[in-house]
Structure 1
């Protein structure tokens, strides 16, 4: 499910009217948090070692001396819910209403003996209902359905160490395919004091406008959910060493298939739960065993979602990047987007502006109480 990526792109390209309506619903605290970016925050972007145990938690789809492909996606474990809702609810409803309306129409046209005012009225009602449901789904529902059906099977990120570029592969409605310099890449896994926040989270990579020259911020959530500890720092260290020292500096990862594997579909639900499950009480484990049918249903929906998507394919210039004599893919700029998208990106550029200086230290409640008022 590409809900997070779609939401971030919708925010970056939001119209003025929608943005005003959204900001009107925000509380003062939410508005303050949305504007709480300081220049000192970018000092966290560094490429020093952060772990002694580099490890790729996967899925890794390709790994060689030139590039490495990994899976992205901020809500992969929830994939399948939209598929089940669409295949099990929306499409059957549309089919039943359409078939019923066509039967009424056919009867009115061919069977003159049964034609009556009531039959004509029922035909109009059924045809209107079928048309209304089909229109609503086509106008609004298809957008959500394509977040996990009839689209790319996975979001991908490619690290090309020969060209020192990072490429994101996403559908156009999630931001499209973009290219960034490796040295503009920020990570959310740098410091041991943040390890407690990694439970249930994925490794996040960030490209801020002040480094990329774009009017919006880009983000990629890699691999599997963390189980706490230093897992995310280990994964970032794996990527860092691969890009700066080469494939021999890291343990070779186990490669995953890009085919619609049922193993990937069912195991995604348990990402980030392994350590928690092992340390949980026996009662909690019994409860999980009791709800196993739900895991089977969601896993089946996830697999159907993979089956109804196609394998993503990189553009030729990115596939050949790093080979002798082949061009280096250009870095993505604002001019690469359509004029209408450029206009909206620029209109929302103030979302990512940095406040000068360093972020002020947080005051404790006691310190705030003792602060003299003027």
Structure 2
């Protein structure tokens, strides 16, 4: 899982110079990046005034919730049990051993709960809004504040992130630079394609670039966008959480079935994360600067989404039930084996 920029340990590094990779990966606003733009299920809404996108962490919501609950809950119970067993222990060596084990479990629990709170009791998402008319960009930070910067003064670049377990990811990073033109004062991820390689990233970047730069960018993007994320002023529901979790592998139904226990847990975790988090609200001054003309022919949000087909919802629902059944059966078997 890629949590780059989210949380204490993966926060963006600021007040530093641009790296060689960032300078070489600079993106030009007047140069098309792909012949096949794609929104990668990133759009919340689009109109002639602005384009609103989800953040880089939206697609993976849910995984950290259930994993953190598992890795935090079990060690917490074990730590409490060992601490309680230490009371009344007369043997000094045994007492120290029990306390040491309890401390180890407590440390493991801290890491588990850290992961849980990366997903839960936060914002449902951290939207990014690009105003085509005023050329301003607004982005919610993980702490709930809003970054504002002129589109034409952002330093935009494609970067590769080194993750754990020898994994990598790629995204388009937007930097706010100091007057010296090389020191990063603030930053956010503008484009992040789930499971996308560099070519996929460039397709998403071209979708964004075209909207902001091309005379017919609004019309073309409006026609290209088929599904908007249903989080405009509302929480994502359980049904769409199911659709979104299974969506990256919609062309591989057998893989969806094989991975269904993992993704069933992620769907439940995603629902928990959304249910405990607050819906972000743009400041009044941002909304005032982003007025949409009455009768704008290029308005689109989740209300215009079509009906989901069998492979978008029906098959994922079957996989969810199968996966959840496997999880429940595994828990019952494990408990019976321990008792």
**TM-score normalised to structure 1 length:** 0.55
What SS does the aligned partner of 2:45 have?
strand
Over 3 Å counting, the alpha-carbon distance change for 1:13 and 1:39 in structure 2 is closer
**Structure with the higher fraction of residues in strand conformation:** 2
Q: 2:69–2:112: 8 Å Cα contact kept in structure 1?
A: no
Query: Which residue does the alignment assign to 1:4?
Result: 4
Report deviation, 1:205: 3.5
Over 3 Å counting, the alpha-carbon distance change for 1:58 and 1:295 in structure 2 is closer
* Inter-partner Cα distance in structure 2 for 1:9 and 1:269: 25
Establish whether residue 36 from structure 1 lines up as the match of residue 20 from structure 2. Answer: yes
Establish whether residue 88 from structure 1 lines up as the match of residue 70 from structure 2. Answer: yes
Q: 1:73–1:154: 8 Å Cα contact kept in structure 2?
A: no
Q: 2:65–2:118: 8 Å Cα contact kept in structure 1?
A: no
Report deviation, 1:237: 2.8
* Inter-partner Cα distance in structure 1 for 2:15 and 2:116: 20
* Inter-partner Cα distance in structure 2 for 1:91 and 1:303: 18
Further displaced range: 315-324 or 95-104: 95-104
User: Deviation string for 1:159-182 (max 9, x for gaps)?
Assistant: 11122111221222xx95322221
* Inter-partner Cα distance in structure 2 for 1:125 and 1:287: 45
Establish whether residue 148 from structure 1 lines up as the match of residue 148 from structure 2. Answer: no
**Structure with the higher fraction of residues in helix conformation:** 1
Q: 1:71–1:222: 8 Å Cα contact kept in structure 2?
A: no
* Inter-partner Cα distance in structure 1 for 2:59 and 2:116: 15
Gaps of 5+ in 2: 160-167, 293-339
Report deviation, 1:55: 3.8
Q: Choose which of 33, 49, 59 in structure 2 pairs with 1:66.
A: 49
Report deviation, 1:72: 1.4
* Inter-partner Cα distance in structure 2 for 1:41 and 1:57: 21
| 1:212-291 map, 5 Å | 215-216=184-185, 218-220=187-189, 222=191, 224-225=193-194, 231-244=200-213, 245=215, 247-252=218-223, 253=225, 254-258=227-231, 259-270=235-246, 272-274=248-250, 277=252, 289-291=257-259
* Inter-partner Cα distance in structure 1 for 2:130 and 2:55: 12
Over 3 Å counting, the alpha-carbon distance change for 1:127 and 1:228 in structure 2 is closer
Over 3 Å counting, the alpha-carbon distance change for 1:134 and 1:317 in structure 2 is farther
Q: 2:177–2:184: 8 Å Cα contact kept in structure 1?
A: yes
Higher Rg: 1
| 1:170-189 map, 5 Å | 170-172=141-143, 176-183=145-152, 184-188=154-158
Establish whether residue 169 from structure 1 lines up as the match of residue 145 from structure 2. Answer: no
Report deviation, 1:117: 7.5
Establish whether residue 321 from structure 1 lines up as the match of residue 289 from structure 2. Answer: yes
Report deviation, 1:11: 3.9
RMSD between aligned alpha carbons? 4.5
- Paired residue total: 272
Query: Which residue does the alignment assign to 2:326?
Result: none
Over 3 Å counting, the alpha-carbon distance change for 1:131 and 1:47 in structure 2 is same
Q: 1:167–1:180: 8 Å Cα contact kept in structure 2?
A: yes
**TM-score normalised to structure 2 length:** 0.60
* Inter-partner Cα distance in structure 1 for 2:71 and 2:31: 51
Over 3 Å counting, the alpha-carbon distance change for 1:130 and 1:264 in structure 2 is farther
* Inter-partner Cα distance in structure 1 for 2:11 and 2:89: 51
Q: 1:58–1:70: 8 Å Cα contact kept in structure 2?
A: no
